[in-house]
Amino acid sequence: MGVVADRTVTKIPAIQELANTTSPIVIIVVGAVIFLITSIGCCGVWKDNYCMVTTFVVLLLIIIIIETVILAISVYVWKGKLEDLPEKMMQDYTSNPDIQKGLDDIQEELKCCGAVNASDWVFFKSDKISVPDSCCKNVSPNCGAGALKNANKIYIVILGIVFSCTLMAGICRGYEVM
């Protein structure tokens, strides 16, 4: 995600005003930290080490709490600024070459058309049936529909915490491994 954000999204001047250019780097660093935390969990399970599994569960809980707080703060701070951004950028598409190139790059990279779907471009030209050329390469009428497919990942994290706690209890009681 950090690499995609660095290569596409941050090239648009309107987004550069809102986003910190270190955001992609932060995403990459957080990904590396999560990799290390999962390594602790895997090693704890492999070695039947109660301390490592407990550390893994505690770190997962801390990450969930931090993510929730950051999400709440971000929504509160950025809501007003981000609500009108897609419409403003689409209105400026024909008059601003930087926005045009940036939106084309995003649509090509993410294989989508518009903020929600191709109908976002209804007023793109006076004929009200045209879309930018960047939409025509792989027409995806509902490209925004896949945005929620990762919403269920929180259940996987919670399930991982429950299983890890069960494993911790088993290790603590000294169960026999087959």
Instruction: Return the higher-pLDDT residue of 139 and 107.
Output: 107
pLDDT above 70 covers a percentage of the chain that reads 63
**Whether residue 124 has pLDDT greater than 60:** yes
Q: What does the DSSP assignment read for 1-65?
A: -HHHHHHTGGGSHHHHHHS-TTHHHHHHHHHHHHHHHHHHHHHHHHHT-HHHHHHHHHHHHHHHH
134 in Cβ contact with 108 (< 8 Å): yes
Can you give the pTM of this predicted structure? 0.47
Q: What is the pLDDT of residues 148-165, one digit of tens each?
A: 345 567 778 788 888 888
